[in-house]
Amino acid sequence: MRAGEPQDIENGRAGEPGPGPTGYRARMTLAPLNVLAIEPWLGGSHARFLETWRRLSGHKVEILGLPARHWQWRMEAAAFTLAQRVGQSEQTPDVIVASDYVDLPRLRGFLPPHLRSTPVLLYLHENQLTYPDQDPDPDRNHYGFTNVLSCLAADAIAFNSRFHRQDFHAAAKDLLQRLPNPAPRKEFDEVMANAQVIYPGIDLDALPLGAGPPPNSPLRLAFNHRWEHDKDPVGFLNAVLEVREAGAQIEVVMLGESFERTPDGMAERLERLGSTLLWSGFKSDQAEYARALGECDLVVSTARHEFYGIALLEGLACGCSPLAPNRLAYPEHLPEEDLYADHASLCAALTRAATQVSRWRSSDLRAGRRELAQSHAAEQTALRLDAACEALRGGSREKQVARSGPLGGP
């Protein structure tokens, strides 16, 4: 999840099914499919992902989910609850799209008999094997193995980045090697060989290009990630304090969402920033969030965990130049010059950037940053998701692509 995301959707169904082909999507020659998207964690970026697809899809997408809380219980029990609701629906799905929070073998077992053979696309935003724990979790392998079994039960699998696909595959293979026989090692490798990558995408219409900070103001940094240990906001603040104490002129805008439990030492560091800190807090209004991003020079990540990088890409869309660690999913999206190796190189990059303020405010550079985000446009994601659903129902993917242009993405 990230700053500016919609709040959790509290009811079981999020909106009505999509209206079917509109605009350029009307060029599809295939009859619209009834697609049922099942999401036990229907909040934040997961909800935005499905709502945007529903709006842009050429198919009739219905969203069925539960509020985004109690993640362990969602993985254990949501399959039963949501399977019951599927059975009560008046619409029979042609394809089911399930997230990684779905225990897919259980879901298929609890579905009404006539729906158990409905083809399923499993979409993995994250996995429970390689998510970094703040506290040791003895149950992590249990939930990770649930992800493995869901892959085996799916008809098709999609990950949100190449990095995520590789990271999960390696961790799952390691887990399966440590399990006693029989273990589905060969079968898992076979399904992973066919796993595809579909970027979640960003809604560029909701993220207009900004002009940057006011003239003659210091370098302005945006940190728009969650205030949790896996995004390492303390590491970001440490770097800012270090370069400021060395004499660099910097302003900071903290846009990430905070929770009841924040990383140790964060409050003290925010207080030390003093007037350097222009804003600190979650902006739930999308327009205000985009406006704040568009008034910054750089968007910075210090993440220890990132399967995609939506917050950084949103900064790009608004015209910010990125600065991200040379690890995780970031090298998949960014040129080498926008990546740093460690804390020392981050501080060095920020120090240099503070002496080149006019560079970051060039209208050509800011437009170029937005262009870099274009390959992640939500319209491309909708095309790829639609094509994946059509393939499961035997639709002509090639015919659809020929009419709509290239799919983009990896």
Total Cβ atoms within 10 A of residue 407: 16
Tens digit of each residue's pLDDT (9 = 90 or more) over 266-282? 999 999 999 999 999 99
Q: Is the pTM of this model over 0.85?
A: yes
CATH superfamily of 23-201+377-404: Glycogen Phosphorylase B; (3.40.50.2000)
- The encoded tokens of residue 356 equal 């080149």
Tokens 């804390």 locate to 343
Q: What is the predicted pLDDT for the residue at 138?
A: 67
pLDDT tens-digit profile of 121-150? Answer: 999 999 999 987 766 666 779 999 999 999
Burial class (CB in 10 A: 0-12, 13-18, 19+), 26: exposed
Share of residues in the chain with pLDDT > 70 (%) = 88
Mean pLDDT of 155-162: 99
| Residue 260, number of CB atoms within 10 A of its CB | 4
| pLDDT in the model for residue 3 | 39
**pLDDT in the model for residue 224:** 98
Which residues make beta-bridge pairs with 95? 35
Q: CA nearest 125: which of 3, 15, 40, 11? A: 40
Q: Evaluate if residue 116 carries a pLDDT over 50.
A: yes
The SS3 call for residue 407 is coil
Q: Is the pLDDT of residue 390 over 80?
A: yes
238-252 pLDDT, tens digit each:
999 999 999 999 999
Look at residue 6 and tell me whether its pLDDT is greater than 50. no
How far apart (Å, rounded) are the C-alpha atoms in residues 59 and 20?
5
Sequence ranges of the chain with CATH classification 3.40.50.2000: 23-201+377-404, 204-375
Q: How confident is the model at residue 405 (pLDDT cuts 50, 70, 90)?
A: very low
- The stretches of 128-179 forming alpha helices (DSSP H) are 140-153, 162-178
Q: How far apart are the first and last CA of the chain?
A: 23
Residue 266's nearest CA partner among 232, 305, 312, 311 is 232
Q: Which of 44-48, 139-143, 163-167, 287-291 has the lowest mean pLDDT?
A: 139-143
Spatial separation of the C-alpha atoms in residues 314 and 190, rounded to whole Å: 35
User: Hey, which CATH number is domain 204-375, 3.30.470.160, 3.40.50.300, 3.40.50.2000, 3.90.950.20?
Assistant: 3.40.50.2000
Token reading at 9: 């959707």
DSSP 304-346: S--SS-HHHHHHHHTTPEEEEESSTTHHHHS-GGGEE-SHHHH
Measured over the CA atoms of residue 349, residue 280, residue 211 and residue 374, the dihedral's sign is: positive
